[in-house]
Chains A and B, each alone.
Chain A
Amino acid sequence: MKINPKLKKDLKSFLLNNIQKEQNRALVISADCLNLDQKKILQQKFSDLDWKEAIYETDKSVIAGIIIKVGSKIIDLSLTGLLSKLSNTLYEID
Chain B
Amino acid sequence: MENLGIEGKLLLAQIINFVLFFILVKQFIVKPFTAFLNQERKNEEEKNRMLEKLKKSEEAGMEAEKKMKEKMKKEFDTLFVQAKKEAQDMRADLMKQAEADALEIKAKNSKLMEEEKNLLYREVKDKIIKTSLMIVESTLKESLDESARKKITGTIIKNYEGKVNFN
A positions within 8 Å CB-CB of B: 30-32, 34, 38, 41-42, 45, 60, 63-66, 77, 79-80, 82-83, 86-87, 90-91
Contact = CB atoms under 8 A, between A and B. Distances in A.
Contact of B129 (A30, A63, A80, A90): A90
B157 A42 contact: yes
B137 A32 contact: no
| A-B interface, 4 closest residue pairs, ranked by CB to CB distance from nearest | A64-B152, A64-B149, A65-B156, A90-B129
Contacts, number: 56
26 contacts: A30-B153, A31-B153, A32-B146, A32-B153, A38-B153, A38-B154, A38-B157, A42-B157, A45-B157, A45-B160, A63-B137, A63-B140, A63-B149, A64-B148, A64-B149, A64-B152, A66-B153, A77-B160, A79-B152, A82-B164, A82-B166, A86-B133, A87-B130, A90-B125, A91-B125, A91-B129
A40 B158 CA distance: 11
B144 A63 contact: yes
B141 interface: yes
Given A82-B164, A91-B125, 11 more contacts: A32-B153, A41-B158, A63-B137, A63-B141, A63-B149, A77-B157, A83-B133, A83-B136, A86-B133, A87-B130, A91-B129
Interface in B95-132: 125-126, 129-130
Given A38-B157, A77-B156, A31 B133 contact: no
Contacts of A45: 157, 160
B152 A41 contact: no
Interface in B26-64: none
B151 to A, nearest CB: 8
B133 A65 contact: no
Nearest to B147: A32
Contacts of B157: 38, 41-42, 45, 66, 77
Contacts of B133: 83, 86-87
B150 interface: yes
Contacts of A38: 153-154, 157
A56 B97 CA distance: 75
B136 A65 contact: no
A60 B142 CA distance: 11
Contacts of B150: 32
B144 to A, nearest CB: 6
Contacts of A86: 133
